[in-house]
Structure 1
Amino acid sequence: MLWRPLAQFARFGGVSLLMGMVGCGVTTVRQVQEHPTRNWFNSTVQLKGTIGDRAPLIGAQVYQLQDETGTIWVLTTDTNLRSGERVVVQGKVLFQSIPIEGQEYGEVYIQELQREVK
């Protein structure tokens, strides 16, 4: 009758493992910005933070997503954004090159694929 306690332990362990993985997969802004060699570009990441400054574009807008490690621009087609909202964003990491007189002033940004208000 040893199998019953083992089955209960395995079930509890599986639930604990699943609960621990809920927070996995969230990348920090610093991780994206500091490790470009990690091949972030064109990969999908999940970021969690607060919507900050916003800037309108033709047919879209960008907003700053701020977490405890920094800020990054996020490109979205959604115009229903509110500064101060806590969100989880899934998006593609991209880089916009801005060369000026031989110097590179480009910036990493996120193209939003999905956003959830928390």
Structure 2
Amino acid sequence: MFDLLPCCLLLFGVGLFGCVDSSLLGIGGIKLGELSVNVTTISEIQENQKAEGIIYLEGQVANQAPFLATGAYELQDPTGSIWVITNHTLPEIDDEILIQGQLKFQSIPLGGKDFGEVYIQEQQRLEHKTKKTEPL
């Protein structure tokens, strides 16, 4: 039975990446130890807002919104910005981070039109560079 575990994990991992619309995968790869990931730009997400899947994003924290049990922060890259919902500690404004997240779309129908918004549910923070503060 335990001989099947590695095969199941491999199939599950391939299935997760297979759910991502291949047009969303960025062309810029980042190497994390032995792992290499493709980073998606925020503009690629906004071009195809109803796509779903696991993606990697890199950027700078522009804003934050703390909630009781969770929080959100706005992540910016040179192509745009997007909100990220997290269960982790909120990063500080100006911190630079690389995350793995689940692409989500929240439909908001009003007057026969859809004013939905795409956002990211953070799954894992892979890199985190805190801002440098100067002493007063």
TM range (shorter): 0.7 to 0.9
SS in 2 for 1:25: strand
Following superposition, the deviation at residue 78 of structure 1 comes to 1.8
CA RMSD of aligned residues (A): 1.9
Which has the larger helix fraction? 1
Match of 1:25 among 12, 15, 38: 38
Which blocks of at least 5 consecutive residues in structure 1 are unaligned?
Answer: 1-19
Give the whole-Å Cα distance in 2 for the aligned partners of 1:58 and 1:100.
28
Match of 2:109 among 99, 109, 112: 99
1:75 aligned to 2:88? no
Q: Which residue is equivalent to 1:14?
A: none
Distance 1:21 1:117, change over 3 A: closer
Higher CA-based Rg = 1
Deviating beyond 2 angstroms after TM superposition, the runs of 4 or more aligned structure 1 residues are 20-24
Which blocks of at least 5 consecutive residues in structure 2 are unaligned?
Answer: 1-28, 130-136
Higher RCO structure, 1 or 2 (CA under 8 Å, sep 6+): 1
SS in 2 for 1:33: helix
Count of residues in Structure 1 that have an aligned counterpart in Structure 2: 96
Give the whole-Å Cα distance in 2 for the aligned partners of 1:87 and 1:62.
14
